Amino acid sequence: MNALLFLANLATLAWAVEVTKKDWDEKTAGKTVFVKFFAPWCGHCKKMKPAWDKLMQEYADHDSILVADVDCIGDGKSKCEEVGIEGFPTIKYGSPTNLEEYKGGRDFETLEKFAKANLGPTCSPERSDLCDDRQQQLLEEFMAMSLSELKTKIKEKDEEISAAEKQVQDLFKRLEKQYEEAQKAKERKEKAIKDAGLWLMKSVQAHRKVKELKDAKDKQDKEEEKEKDNATNATNATNATSELEHSALESQPGEDATPNSTEMAGSDVSPAATAAAPSSDSESNIGTPEVQQPAPENPSEVRESKPETDRKDQTAETEGKAEL
Task: Tell whether 79 is covered by a domain.
Answer: yes
The total number of residues written for the chain in this structure: 324
Give dist(CA 38, CA 75) in Å, integer. Answer: 12
Task: Tell whether 274 is covered by a domain.
Answer: no
At 278-320, the pLDDT tens digits run 444 444 444 444 545 555 555 444 444 444 545 555 555 555 5
Task: Tell whether 231 is covered by a domain.
Answer: no
Confidence of residue 51 (pLDDT cuts 50, 70, 90): very high
Give dist(CA 146, CA 144) in Å, integer. Answer: 7
Q: How many domains does the chain fold into?
A: 1
Owning domain of residue 42: 2-142
Task: Tell whether 101 is covered by a domain.
Answer: yes
Confidence of residue 248 (pLDDT cuts 50, 70, 90): confident
Task: Tell whether 87 is covered by a domain.
Answer: yes
pLDDT score at 287: 46
What is the end-to-end Cα distance of the chain in Å, rounded?
A: 169
Query: Domain with 64 in it: what CATH number?
Result: 3.40.30.10
Task: Tell whether 180 is covered by a domain.
Answer: no
CA 313-316-321 angle, to 5 degrees, is: 125
Task: Tell whether 67 is covered by a domain.
Answer: yes
Task: Tell whether 26 is covered by a domain.
Answer: yes
Of 244, 103, 107, 84, which is closest to residue 168 (Cα–Cα)?
84
Check whether 182 has a pLDDT greater than 50: yes
**What angle separates helix 43-58 from helix 2-15, to the nearest 10 degrees?**
70
